[in-house]
């Protein structure tokens, strides 16, 4: 595996899920030697709690040296080729990525979308520039349009609770006061589409995700109908792709409540966190034993460990 930035980087996603489960259930005795004498730099252009701690822990548990750097605290980076750098950007990504490649065996990058420049965001411009100029594997810690470590952990969590039958998995939009990225939703679709799931998507009209991510996944605008018989209800707010980055709908009727969960197949609630309680989901649902949100965040560590292990193999 050259990089870990989307499901397309992974030759066998189901095997990677299996690898994470094995690392969790029976970590090898020589765990600390897997990453010995290897260094990982985690570069944060945006805030992070779960990703920062779980990826750092994954690296340390593999015996790596892990260095965390808040890229936003220093100077700004230039990402445009050929730029005449006489304004506010002090360093080009060519140098930043090239330099860090000499200190690191893996570079983790966390970057959010602008939510104003759709074209550039959907080129995943910043992440791609790092991939172009880094000389070592790039590990996405969430990019403008994807959050693959989250999706891998989500799949691991579903695998742990998989019923005997082919599970029905619903990705449902929910309201939120702020304009959020589409990354988690995009990525979840992408990973679930290659898993053996009965997947559907529900959201208000106008909140369609980018066609390249929706693919053949059925879209049902009636949330209740979509939730009927669901085994897993994955909830997430996102801002529209068409009316890019605008907040057009805060309809509280889309919040996940016990009434919504009642039509599911005793379904499990899932959310990537952070979550706005009583806006996205009611306390009753998230505090119930059917909620998997903490297990998802726990599985972030094992997902990261599996991905890092794979990246180290390729070296």
> Could you give the string, one character per residue 158-197, with x where binding to a second copy holds by CB under 8 A and - elsewhere?
-------------------x--------------------
Exactly one of 22, 95, 212, 251 binds a second copy (CB under 8 A); which one? 95
274 binds a second copy (CB under 8 A): yes
Residue 173: which of 267, 238, 226 has the closest Cα? 238
Return the number of the residue (120 or 276) whose C-beta is nearest a second copy: 276
Exactly one of 69, 161, 162, 290 binds a second copy (CB under 8 A); which one? 69
202 binds a second copy (CB under 8 A): no
**Cα 101 versus chain centre, distance:** 23
Structure tokens at 259: 């009434």
Return the number of the residue (14 or 99) whose C-beta is nearest a second copy: 99
176 is in an annotated binding site: yes
133 binds a second copy (CB under 8 A): no
132 binds a second copy (CB under 8 A): no
Check: CB of residue 217 under 8 Å from CB of residue 185.
Answer: no
41 binds a second copy (CB under 8 A): yes
Rounded distance, CA 96 to CA 158, Å?
38
Exactly one of 11, 25, 26, 87 binds a second copy (CB under 8 A); which one? 87
Bridge partners of residue 164, in order along the sequence: none
Minimum Å gap between C-beta 170 and a second copy is 22
Return the number of the residue (226 or 307) whose C-beta is nearest a second copy: 307
Contacting a second copy within 282-301 (CB under 8 A) = 283, 287, 293-294, 297-298, 301
Judged by CB under 8 A, the stretch of 157-165, 207-215, 230-238, 270-278 that binds a second copy is: 270-278
C-alpha distances in angstroms, 32 versus 58, 64, 114?
10, 8, 38
- CA terminus-to-terminus distance, the chain: 9
Q: To 5 degrees, how large is the angle CA 188–CA 224–CA 163?
A: 55
State the Cα torsion 119-107-58-56 to the nearest 10°.
-90
Peptide bond into 251 cis (omega under 30): no
258 binds a second copy (CB under 8 A): no
152 is in an annotated binding site: no
C-alpha distances in angstroms, 182 versus 50, 115, 139, 178?
18, 9, 19, 12
Judged by CB under 8 A, the stretch of 93-101, 191-199, 202-210, 256-264 that binds a second copy is: 93-101
Minimum Å gap between C-beta 205 and a second copy is 22
Judged by CB under 8 A, the stretch of 95-103, 192-200, 229-237, 258-266 that binds a second copy is: 95-103
- Per DSSP, which regions of the chain are E strands? 39-44, 65-70, 76-78, 89-92, 106-110, 138-140, 168-173, 198-202, 219-220, 232-236, 268-270
Q: Classify each residue of 198-223 as buried b or exposed e, where b means 16 or more C-beta atoms within 10 Å of its C-beta.
A: ebbbbbbeebebbeebbeebeebeeb
Minimum Å gap between C-beta 92 and a second copy is 5
Residues contributing to the annotated binding site for carbamoyl phosphate: 48-51, 75, 110, 147-150, 272-273, 300
Residues contributing to the annotated binding site for N(2)-succinyl-L-ornithine: 142, 176, 236, 276
State the residues that interact with a second copy by CB under 8 A.
Answer: 39, 41, 47-50, 52-54, 56-57, 60-61, 65, 67, 69-70, 73-75, 78, 82-87, 90-92, 94-96, 98-100, 102-104, 177, 273-279, 283, 287, 293-294, 297-298, 301
């Amino acid at each position: 595996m050259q990089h870990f930035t989307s499901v397309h980087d992974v030759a066998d996603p189901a095997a990677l899920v299996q690898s994470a489960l094995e690392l969790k259930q029976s970590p090898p005795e020589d765990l600390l030697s897997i990453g010995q004498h290897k260094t990982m730099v985690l570069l944060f252009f945006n805030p992070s709690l779960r990703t920062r701690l779980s990826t750092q822990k994954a690296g340390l548990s593999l015996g790596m040296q892990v260095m965390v750097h808040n890229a936003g605290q220093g100077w700004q980076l230039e990402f445009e080729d050929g730029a005449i750098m006489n304004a506010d950007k002090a360093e080009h990504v060519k140098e930043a990525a090239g330099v860090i490649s000499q200190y690191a065996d893996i570079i983790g990058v966390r970057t959010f979308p602008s939510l104003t420049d759709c074209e550039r965001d959907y080129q995943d411009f910043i992440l791609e520039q790092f991939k172009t100029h880094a000389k070592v594997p790039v590990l996405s810690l969430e990019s403008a349009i994807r959050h693959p470590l989250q999706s891998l952990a989500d799949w691991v969590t579903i695998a742990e609770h998989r019923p005997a039958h082919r599970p029905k998995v619903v990705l449902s939009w929910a309201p939120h006061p702020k304009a959020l990225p589409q990354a988690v939703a995009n990525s979840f679709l992408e990973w679930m589409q290659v898993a053996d799931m009965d997947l559907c998507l529900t959201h208000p009209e106008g909140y369609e995700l980018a066609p390249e991510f929706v693919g053949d996944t059925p879209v049902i605008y009636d949330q209740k109908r979509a939730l009927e018989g669901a085994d897993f209800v994955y909830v997430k707010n996102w801002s529209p792709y068409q009316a890019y980055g605008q907040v057009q709908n805060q309809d509280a009727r889309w919040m996940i409540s016990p009434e919504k969960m009642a039509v599911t197949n005793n379904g499990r609630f899932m959310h990537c966190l952070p979550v706005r309680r009583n806006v996205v989901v009611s306390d009753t649902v998230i505090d119930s034993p059917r909620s998997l949100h903490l297990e998802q965040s726990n599985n972030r560590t094992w997902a990261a460990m599996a991905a890092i292990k794979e990246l180290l193999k390729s070296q």
